[in-house]
A = this chain, B = another copy of it.
């Protein structure tokens, strides 16, 4: 099943993709669907609301517009650790984003004005969406707590990311982080391993890898995080980016206004975002 959050009539509404239509659901967004109960191959925990809209051209919000938590993982691809001259991590490297960072799968990526930074960079990532409350989980329970997967572009303002030892400042600029287009449920994707992941900028491939390169896989991350705190329905875990980011290139590259960024993951879909200032 493929779930989306659409913008309609000045608000948001959850929907289920069905062919070339989106069947609207009786919930304001996908987080509310997951909070209502399990999404299974047999059905949804909320009713259909009676309306449909065309899938093509409908304005999509971030698939989870306001998660309780957005948890990101750093240096979690073998190829990305190598390109940044870092050893493979021995534990997952977690940092956060806030809700204000998120933007829709076809929305602009908002860049800071040039006097604040000119070092915006791309990072395509497989994002886990948590389906139910989970705490102190072993690997099997952790896998079962995953509702599904989506795409997240962890756009990073590199000079703010490295201004201090802590990444947060450069990772949570407002409107910088597209997420979507859809939550694809785990029954369609399995454990999130073995999926091709790519990012192009203005048609040039910058990142091309596979989630088999992940150091810590989705279920491992859920289990480890659940040792720290309860995970909640709709929580997003961005699992890290593969090699090919702009700041590891020689010469270094950055996103400029007008650049068109496409981020895609096999079996999930593609986001298309144009960079704008402000």
Contact = CB atoms under 8 A, between A and B. Distances in A.
A45 interface: no
A116 interface: yes
A71 B166 CA distance: 12
**What does DSSP make chain A's interface, helix, strand, loop or mixed?**
loop
A141 to B, nearest CB: 17
Contact of A166 (B95, B100, B116): B95
Given A68-B99, A98-B69, A74 B166 contact: yes
A229 interface: yes
Which residue, of A101, A116, A164, has the highest number of chain B Cβ atoms within 10 A? A164
Contacts of A95: 95-96, 166, 168
Contacts of A122: none
Interface in A249-268: none
B228 A169 contact: yes
Nearest to A68: B99
A251 B101 CA distance: 42
Copies in the complex: 2
Interface residues on A, range: 20 to 34
Which residue, of A135, A173, A227, has the highest number of chain B Cβ atoms within 10 A? A227
B166 A68 contact: no
Nearest to A100: B229
A91 B95 CA distance: 18
Interface string A107-130: 000001000100000000000000
Interface of A: 68-69, 71, 74, 89, 91-96, 98-101, 112, 116, 135, 160, 163-169, 172-174, 227-230, 232
Closest 10 CB pairs of A and B: A96-B96, A174-B229, A93-B164, A100-B229, A94-B168, A91-B163, A95-B166, A69-B98, A94-B169, A93-B166
7 contacts: A98-B229, A101-B229, A112-B227, A160-B228, A169-B228, A172-B229, A173-B228
